[in-house]
A = this chain, B = another copy of it.
Amino acid sequence: MTETQDPAAGTARPSRRALIGWGGAGLALGAAATGGAMALATTGDGRSAPDAVDFHGPHQAGIATAVQDRLHFAAFDVRTDDRAAFVRLLKEWTAAARRMTAGEEVGDGAHGGLPEAPPDDTGEALGLRASRLTLTIGFGPSLFAKFGLADRRPAALVDLPHFPGDNLDAARTGGDLCVQACADDPQVAVHAIRNLARIGFGTVAVRWSQLGFGKTSSTTPDAQTPRNLMGFKDGTRNIAGTETGRLGKFVWVGDGDGPAWMTGGSYLVARRIRMNIETWDRASLQEQEDVFGRDKGEGAPVGKAREHDAPFLKAMKPDAHVRLAHPDSNHGITILRRGYSFTDGTDGLGRLDAGLFFLAYQRDVREGFVPLQRSLSARDALNEYIQHVGSAVFAVPPGVRDADDWWGRTLFAKEA
């Protein structure tokens, strides 16, 4: 497809190939094999593609980052009891994540010169842009039962209780760790998770994974909020990535909030929320609008004209979703939502297996998702049309500070 025929393509398309010269031509390969490793190690110094999100910082990217269009989320189980091997993997993963988020391939390019070895990179993202890829790691409660970490588990990382209506599939629940890959190109997100899984072979194994599309909440809420698969705008009043005040209050773990290793991190709750699409689609418009407490066209709260008008909660039905989820109904509880729609084909009964893969970041799960979901699961009118079928919670450590730092150092390093 030529650039002019593809309205989605930019006119200038800086490619991974252009950056690293991994090509079939002998000259390019030779360059990569000899000088490539050194040049490539400078990742993060400004050579990054123009649509790359910086991997380094006090917080991990992928939380306050403006939401990308696509998601590949994977939960992993640890398959080793060798702490050193696991730490080695975290370091390898960090190096790979640093390169991939910069729009480069995994490895130093030497795969072009070593035909007898498997390629360092699986190759399907060659020629694609960085696509604002972010990779965000989290540690699940079960990880703290391993490697002698029991006393380092944060109190804020609670096991989620059973909520009314939960119908959790064990095959889509839990995990010792997770990686959230977000990018504007699905092939870039899939490539990242696949290469991390490949690198982790023997040490970790994918427990479950989820693809998502069409961001359903925006961390830059000035513009229109995207619609979920029920056709409604939801998450209109989400925390923006630029609101440092609300981020500090509701999202980032602060000094003294718990173990020092989590300072600058956050806690992630992931819920696979299946929508009963066929039932919803046969509900009347009035019922649909009553359930949400918004009108469907504009997304305005009941009795208001525009999407971003402040809602008058008492004008809504007592069990309206917007009313029950609003901070004013929940002692001010606020979470940063980063959910994606999913459609995973059809179930055995011909119904779409579709819904919302809900991702929420918060400073303390006990003061965020748990009380909020206690309220919603008991009373939300939406419950007639949805079902929570997967669940996980993770401690998301602080950011990787520089080229010498690595994912989880504050938890695993001897000196930490």
Contacts and interface: CB of A to CB of B under 8 A. Distances in A.
A197 B229 CA distance: 14
Nearest to A218: B1
A123 B296 contact: yes
A28 B298 CA distance: 10
9 contacts: A5-B66, A24-B305, A25-B298, A25-B305, A114-B285, A122-B231, A186-B343, A190-B341, A194-B229
A200 B67 CA distance: 35
Given A23-B298, A218-B1, A6 B344 contact: no
Given A1-B218, A123-B231, A132-B7, A205 B350 contact: yes
A148 interface: no
A31 to B, nearest CB: 12
Given A7-B10, A24-B296, A220-B1, A187 B214 contact: yes
Copies in the complex: 2
A206 interface: yes
A115 B66 contact: no
Contacts of A201: 278, 282
A72 interface: yes
Interface in A250-269: none
A24 B298 contact: yes
A230 interface: yes
Given A210-B345, A352-B206, A22 B297 contact: yes
A147 B201 CA distance: 53
Contacts of A24: 294-300, 305
Contact of A281 (B17, B114, B122): B122
Interface in A1-24: 1-3, 5-8, 10, 17, 22-24
A354 to B, nearest CB: 7
Contacts of A343: 72, 186, 190, 211
B29 A289 contact: no
A209 B345 contact: yes
A151 interface: no
Interface of A: 1-3, 5-8, 10, 17, 22-25, 28-29, 51, 66-67, 69, 72, 74, 77, 111-112, 114-119, 121-127, 132, 171, 184-187, 190, 194, 197-198, 201, 205-211, 213-215, 218-220, 222-224, 227-232, 277-278, 281-286, 288-289, 294-300, 305, 341, 343-346, 348, 350-352, 354
Closest 3 CB pairs of A and B: A123-B231, A24-B298, A24-B295
Contact of A197 (B10, B348, B352): B352
A181 to B, nearest CB: 11
Contact of A285 (B74, B119, B206, B299): B119
Given A201-B278, A224-B127, A278-B198, A209 B286 contact: no
Nearest to A199: B281
Given A207-B350, A210-B345, A211-B345, 15 more contacts: A1-B218, A2-B220, A2-B222, A8-B8, A8-B184, A24-B305, A111-B285, A112-B297, A118-B282, A119-B288, A123-B296, A127-B227, A190-B343, A194-B281, A208-B345
A219 B6 CA distance: 12
A222 B230 CA distance: 40
